[in-house]
């Protein structure tokens, strides 16, 4: 078996097979290659039976990729090796042994909507729906978080000083009873019940402990406590455990991942060997220096420093706009110039951002610049529920006959117009051949519609007519703010019993819609509501069409970018409060945000550009911004123009003139 293509550390990771081993695989260090070669080494050199090898990763995509690469490597000799996700392994074990827990082997797995439906039914049956303390989505989130930590209903029921926690515990208890009665489990139950088998029916699991002589775990930094405990059970007999991960890329704490699993590995396995993969095959030394300087500021990490044999590479770029619009216009302009100047593909570029609400302006800027793009890992801004809800009000105001939008908002936020009342209103629509809005205007004249609901319908219709007149006479942005305040949409979002991060995002999207409308008015003062709605409609249509085009700039959050790489990366919004995100700082501190920055920097292969806006609109006011603290960690010598550096007017004019000259020169060549 030829291992000459491996560096010394990779070779050590492949050939060290006995006992616990932690492979600290830095970004771009070839960890997948190591895992594949290690399995191949076990089979070809050490003559280990393939069926005695278990490799666990987090996604089915990663598992499939490893299976294909192992197939190419071993040409059939890999048959019997189990490459699986934690959850796939759990389901497999539960199918064999779940009868021990009082379930039947033909159990079903409920998805998110199924789960929320069960929770909502329980709340209705126990008169908890109108308590004001909990809601189905919020309870679902808390149950999921508890299960990730291996906690059950008692965790909530024991907190007797909190009525809300007690109610969550009551619903949680009944939820588990209902699921079991249906012979159903949820996604989190897969691992919890598997762990229960190991803990309560240890003898039945002994053959499994004996079966797997070698256990490998990929992306170890992303494991939660339940997965850690399962791993410990699986390797209990033979102790040949190899975990591969990077504590510097642990960015899913909000999803239950526990960085202690990797940081405490030496404590949990005192005989463990630690192997560091620090040679990076992805990025230039300049980019790696920046990444190292940022992440080295974290006190809770395992020391390592990425390096590369590649040429030094070009300096980092810095873009600073007077506001967000200018920042992103400069980003778009740079992409256009570089594509024309160097003949690059749009797919070579990625724009990474901290929070989803930033996507609206990025999308609009790229569209206005004629740059094709795709959004990965998130819903397009205008396809988000809260944005669609707000736009539905505008559409009904513009066109009363738009009954799709009318049905969407007539009882959202709740105004006492329930399903029964709508059924009766629709009866009169059919009887009198009138649209629903016309029935709503005179609802009290129709006896079948309950009086209170009829009054709400008339009030709603009057409000729509009132705002229709205002949109014809006043500034669009201001009227929209008043409208959403009057109907209580923002208030509804702010008071929903959901996790704070989700709540903040949803409110942020609506606020971003308002800012977008303000920008539209500024750029098009003669335009009206109809023009804006037409623009949004065309925007979303174009967005769907552009998804079919492969040559696109990629837009994604930093969380979605993990595991990916691009030749040219833009990190936008590098300002305090945006990145690092203020709520994340308040809740979990700085370290995970810093790791997220590290992940963003190490996505770039050849060139990295960072940017910020000096001012940003926040609600109704414009606020000044300061540079992200992460920029101060990077040596200014790594930048072509240091962040915050002042250029005199002559330099700015020359730079602008040169850029414009290059752009138009290239454009003429293409004509």
pLDDT digits (tens, 9 = 90+) for 449-493: 999 999 999 999 999 999 999 998 888 888 988 998 999 998 999
User: What element of type H or E holds 22?
Assistant: strand 21-25
- Lowest-pLDDT choice from 374-378, 453-457, 515-519, 550-554: 374-378
| pLDDT higher than 90, residue 520 | no
pLDDT band at 229 (very low <50, low <70, confident <90, very high): very high
Predicted structure pTM score: 0.75
Reading phi first (left if > 0) and then psi (alpha if -120 to 50, else beta), residue 80 is in: left
When the pLDDT of each residue in the chain is averaged and rounded to a whole number, the result is: 88
Specify the pLDDT at position 136.
86
Look at 610 and 379; give whichever has higher pLDDT: 610
| pLDDT higher than 50, residue 196 | yes
| pLDDT higher than 80, residue 110 | no
- Lowest-pLDDT choice from 103-107, 443-447, 625-629: 103-107
Section 9-17 average pLDDT: 97
Section 120-132 average pLDDT: 81
- Lowest-pLDDT choice from 97-101, 288-292, 402-406: 402-406
Specify the pLDDT at position 547.
39
Section 532-549 average pLDDT: 53
- Lowest-pLDDT choice from 29-33, 163-167, 610-614: 163-167
Q: How far is CA 28 from CA 122, 246, 604, 659, in A?
A: 48, 11, 10, 33
Section 489-517 average pLDDT: 87
R_g over Cα of the chain: 29
Specify the pLDDT at position 651.
44
Specify the pLDDT at position 656.
52
The residue whose two tokens read 């944005």 is 387
Section 310-321 average pLDDT: 96
pLDDT band at 359 (very low <50, low <70, confident <90, very high): very high
Strand partners, 25: 277
| pLDDT higher than 80, residue 106 | no
Active site positions, annotated: 31-32, 218-219, 249, 603
Residue 231's nearest CA partner among 151, 242, 51 is 242
Look at 116 and 441; give whichever has higher pLDDT: 441
Distance CA 321, CA 173 (A): 53
| pLDDT higher than 70, residue 113 | no
Taking each helix axis from N to C terminus, what angle separates 419-432 and 451-473, rounded to the nearest 10 degrees?
70
């Amino acid at each position: 078996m030829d291992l000459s293509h491996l560096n010394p550390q990779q070779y050590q990771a492949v050939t060290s097979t006995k006992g616990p081993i932690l492979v600290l695989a830095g970004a771009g260090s070839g960890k997948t290659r190591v895992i594949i070669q290690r399995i191949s080494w076990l089979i070809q050199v050490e003559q280990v039976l393939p069926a005695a090898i278990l490799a666990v990763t987090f996604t089915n995509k990663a598992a499939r990729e490893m299976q294909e690469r192992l197939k190419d490597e071993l040409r059939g000799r890999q048959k019997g090796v189990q490459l699986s996700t934690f959850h796939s392994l759990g389901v497999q074990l539960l199918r064999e042994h779940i009868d021990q827990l009082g379930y039947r082997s033909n159990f079903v797995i409920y998805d998110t909507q199924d789960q929320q439906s069960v929770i909502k039914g329980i709340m209705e049956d126990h008169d908890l729906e109108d308590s004001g303390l909990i809601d189905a989505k919020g309870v679902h989130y808390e149950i999921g978080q508890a299960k990730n930590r291996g906690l059950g209903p008692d965790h909530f029921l024991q907190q007797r000083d909190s009525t809300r926690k007690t109610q969550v515990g009551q619903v949680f208890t009944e939820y588990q009873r209902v699921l079991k009665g249906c012979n159903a489990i949820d996604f989190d139950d897969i691992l919890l019940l598997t762990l229960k088998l190991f803990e309560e029916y240890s003898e039945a699991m002994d053959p499994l402990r004996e079966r797997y002589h070698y256990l490998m775990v990929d992306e170890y930094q992303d494991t939660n406590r339940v997965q850690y405990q399962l791993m410990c059970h699986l390797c209990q007999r033979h102790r040949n455990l190899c975990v591969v991960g990077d504590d510097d890329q642990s960015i899913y704490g909000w999803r239950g991942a526990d960085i202690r699993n990797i940081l405490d590995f030496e404590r949990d396995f005192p005989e463990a060997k630690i192997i560091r993969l620090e040679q990076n095959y992805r990025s230039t030394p300049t980019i790696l220096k920046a990444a190292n300087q940022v992440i080295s500021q974290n006190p809770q990490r395992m020391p390592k420093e990425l390096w590369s044999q590649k040429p030094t590479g070009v300096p980092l770029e810095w873009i600073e706009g007077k506001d967000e619009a200018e920042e992103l216009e400069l980003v778009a302009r740079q992409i256009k110039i570089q594509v024309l100047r160097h003949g690059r593909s749009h797919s070579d570029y990625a724009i990474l951002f901290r929070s989803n609400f930033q996507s609206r302006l990025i999308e609009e800027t790229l569209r206005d610049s004629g740059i094709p793009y795709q959004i990965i890992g998130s819903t397009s801004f205008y396809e988000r529920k809260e944005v669609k809800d707000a736009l539905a009000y505008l559409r009904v105001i513009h066109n009363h006959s738009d009954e799709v939008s009318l049905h969407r908002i007539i009882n959202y936020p709740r105004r006492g117009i329930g399903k029964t009342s709508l059924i009766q209103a629709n009866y009169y629509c059919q009887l009198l051949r009138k649209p629903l809005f016309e029935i709503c205007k005179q609802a009290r004249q129709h006896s079948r519609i309950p009086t209170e609901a009829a009054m709400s319908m008339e009030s709603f219709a009057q409000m729509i007519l009132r705002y229709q007149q205002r949109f014809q006479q006043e500034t669009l942005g201001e009227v929209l703010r008043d409208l959403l305040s009057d109907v209580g949409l923002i208030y509804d979002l702010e008071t929903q019993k959901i996790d704070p991060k989700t709540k903040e995002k949803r409110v942020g999207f609506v606020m971003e819609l308002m800012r977008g409308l303000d920008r539209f008015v500024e750029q098009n003062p003669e335009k009206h509501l109809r023009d804006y709605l037409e623009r949004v409609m065309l925007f979303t249509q174009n967005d769907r069409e552009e998804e079919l085009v492969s040559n696109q700039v990629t837009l994604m959050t930093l969380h979605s970018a993990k595991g990916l790489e691009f030749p040219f990366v833009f990190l936008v919004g590098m300002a305090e409060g945006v990145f690092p995100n203020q709520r994340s700082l308040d809740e979990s501190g700085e370290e995970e945000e810093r790791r997220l920055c590290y992940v963003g920097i190490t996505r770039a292969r050849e060139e990295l550009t960072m940017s910020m806006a000096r001012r940003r609109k926040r609600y109704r006011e414009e606020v000044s911004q300061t540079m992200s603290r992460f920029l101060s960690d990077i040596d200014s010598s790594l930048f072509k123009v240091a962040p915050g550096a002042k250029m005199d007017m002559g330099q700015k004019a020359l730079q602008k003139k040169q850029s414009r000259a290059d752009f138009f020169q290239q454009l003429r060549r293409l004509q």
